[in-house]
């Protein structure tokens, strides 16, 4: 979402902490029109074909420019392939296949929402570091896999799974966003089943390897509530950005460096919360202000301008080169992307971290419609925004990509660099 009541995140995936933690909540962040009618996947072939026809006709009609990236005939061929295959697929597989034509449209605000009935996740989370997919946390019972490399799911190598998952994700966004979403999809119960990797989504067999090559295979079932689970992490000490996960705007005073660190995750209610860090800044010897947007999936960028950017611009003591930093990453999305650019152009902030996965000039400002039989919600973009003319990616002034060794040790090299760079 950018300015008014739209979905605030990519068609992707909180499973707990880290990248995967942000990405499912964003997909179902706001109730859809028609909410109250539960989604159904137990439809007849005729009912699924009616929904497919609705999606295929309504999405091009409603989207601001549905064929800005994919040719109409390619989109229609994908729809025709699914229409032919419906009779041989179960409901979860059909849902997953419905995500392919919407992904072809290209922008991250267009997609099929995953229903809550499929949001149960397997009891682990993963993240890629270079060409290795590492387990960054698990629940009790699977904790022996923490830190290991994920090799396969139900005997399908991870390298073969990734392209199937990528086909479900917005094809005209930068690879960093799709990669981050894949982390969540790999362990989200219904998705591996829907792409034909897991035969029975009630349990799956994960195979791992440690750094010496020793293998471990665990058969696990999805957990009902990831938020209530007891998680085991790679390190007993978590960096600030992975703490206080439920707080929309969490600020921390780091007295040794005289730094105020603000992890800004959610726009809702920003006006009632933003005054707290500014009151602190105004009454304490603050030398640095750090705004962390790495886990922000969007909202209303006008609220960000009003309650963060403009107040900072009015404070010359902090709005100085070397004293104001904004951290960005692959899932800094939608309004957060717009405000990251605002910080760079309207203040003296330095952008630090990893490139943003969403393109800065694209279609967004989404609306939704509900399919008549399954009651699945389809999101679509209604407006083109050009936040950074001529740019395909918002890159930081200082690129810092965490290594596996740093992550495993519970370190945040981005914040470490900020605290050390201007002493």
d(CA 156, CA 146): 20
Closest to 329 (Cα-Cα) out of 118, 156, 174, 207: 174
Q: How much is the pLDDT for 300? A: 94
DSSP letter for each residue of 88-120: G--HHHHHHHHHHHHHHH--TT-EEPPPGGG--
pLDDT of residue 422: 65
Query: Do residues 21 and 9 make contact, with C-beta atoms less than 8 angstroms apart?
Result: no
Size of the chain, expressed as the number of residues it contains = 423
From the list 80, 174, 78, 182, the residue with the least C-alpha distance to 126 is 182
Residue pLDDT, tens place only, 373-395: 999 999 999 999 999 999 999 99
Coil, strand or helix: which one is 400?
Answer: coil
Each residue's pLDDT tens digit, 154-197: 999 999 999 999 999 999 999 999 999 999 999 998 899 999 99
| Residue ranges of domains in the chain | 240-359+393-421
pLDDT of residue 230: 85
Instruction: Specify the long-range contacts of residues 210-217, CB closer than 8 Å, at least 24 apart.
Output: 210/147, 210/148, 210/149, 215/151, 216/144, 216/145, 216/148
Name residues of the chain where pLDDT drops below 70.
1-36, 118, 226-227, 422-423
**Predicted pLDDT at 229:** 78
Residue that the structure tokens 């032919």 belong to: 84
Residue matched to tokens 């229609």: 76
Instruction: Give the C-alpha separation, 231 to 142, whole Å.
Output: 10
Structure tokens at 201: 């989504």
Environment class of residue 72 by beta-carbon count within 10 Å: exposed (0-12), middle (13-18) or buried (19+)? exposed
Q: Which two tokens stand for residue 243?
A: 């703490």
Q: What's the sign of the alpha-carbon dihedral 3, 6, 8, 10? A: negative
DSSP state of 248: S
Which neighbouring-strand residues pair with 138?
A: 124, 232
Six token digits for residue 280: 């602190």
- Looking at residue 230, what DSSP letter applies? P
The SS3 call for residue 341 is: helix
C-alpha to C-alpha distance for 158 and 171, rounded to whole angstroms? 20
For 212, counting Cβ atoms within 10 Å of its Cβ (0-12 exposed, 13-18 middle, 19+ buried), the class is exposed
Specify whether the CB–CB gap between 367 and 379 falls below 8 A.
yes
Four-way CATH pick for 240-359+393-421: 2.80.10.50, 3.40.50.620, 3.40.50.920, 3.90.226.10: 3.90.226.10
Q: What is the SS3 string spanning 130-181?
A: CCEEEEEEEECCCHHHCCCEEEEECCEEHHHHHHHHHCCCCCCCCHHHHHHH
DSSP state of 86: G
Judge contact between 95 and 41, C-beta under 8 A.
yes
* Whole-Å CA distances, 413 to 253, 291, 321, 331, 387: 18, 15, 20, 18, 28
Q: Closest Cα to residue 328, out of 373, 381, 363, 290?
A: 290
Question: DSSP of 42-65, one letter per residue?
Answer: ---HHHHHHHHHHHHHHHHHHSS-
Helix, strand, or coil here: 182?
Answer: helix
């Amino acid at each position: 979402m950018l300015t008014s009541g739209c979905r605030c995140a990519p068609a992707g995936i909180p499973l707990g902490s880290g990248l995967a933690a942000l990405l499912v909540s964003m997909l179902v962040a706001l109730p859809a029109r028609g909410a109250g009618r539960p989604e159904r996947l137990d439809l007849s072939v005729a009912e699924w074909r009616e929904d497919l026809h609705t999606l295929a006709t309504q999405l091009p009609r409603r989207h601001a420019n549905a064929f800005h990236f994919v040719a109409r005939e390619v989109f229609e061929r994908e729809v025709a392939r699914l229409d032919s295959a419906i009779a041989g697929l179960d409901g979860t597989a059909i849902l997953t296949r419905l995500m392919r034509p919407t992904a072809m449209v290209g922008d991250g605000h267009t997609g099929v929402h995953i229903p809550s009935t499929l949001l149960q996740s397997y009891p682990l989370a993963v993240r890629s570091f270079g060409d290795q997919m590492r387990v960054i946390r698990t629940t009790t019972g699977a904790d022996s896999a923490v830190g290991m490399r994920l090799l396969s799911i139900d005997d399908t190598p991870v390298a073969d799974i990734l392209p199937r998952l990528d086909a479900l994700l917005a094809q005209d966004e930068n690879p960093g966003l799709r990669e981050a979403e894949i982390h969540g999809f790999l362990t989200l119960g219904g998705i591996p089943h829907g792409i034909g990797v897991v035969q029975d989504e009630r349990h799956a067999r994960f195979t791992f390897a440690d750094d010496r090559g020793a293998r471990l295979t665990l058969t696990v079932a999805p957990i009902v509530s990831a938020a209530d689970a007891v998680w085991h992490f790679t390190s007993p000490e978590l960096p600030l950005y992975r703490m206080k996960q439920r707080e929309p705007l969490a600020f921390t005073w780091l007295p040794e460096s005289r730094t105020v660190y603000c992890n800004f995750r959610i726009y809702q209610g920003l006006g009632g919360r933003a005054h707290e860090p500014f009151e602190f800044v105004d009454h304490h010897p603050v030398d640095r202000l750090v705004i962390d947007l790495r886990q922000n999936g969007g909202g209303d960028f006008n609220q960000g301008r009003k309650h963060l950017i403009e107040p900072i611009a009015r404070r010359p003591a902090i709005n100085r080169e070397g004293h104001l930093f904004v951290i960005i990453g692959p899932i800094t999305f939608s309004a957060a992307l717009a405000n990251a650019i605002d910080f760079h152009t309207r203040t003296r902030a330095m952008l630090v971290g990893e490139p943003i996965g969403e393109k800065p000039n694209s279609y967004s400002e989404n609306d939704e419609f509900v399919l008549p039989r399954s009651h699945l919600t389809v999101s679509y973009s209604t407006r083109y925004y050009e936040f950074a003319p001529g740019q395909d990616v918002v890159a930081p002034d200082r690129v810092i990509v965490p290594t596996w060794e740093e992550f495993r040790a519970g370190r945040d090299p981005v914040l470490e660099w900020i605290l050390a760079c201007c002493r």
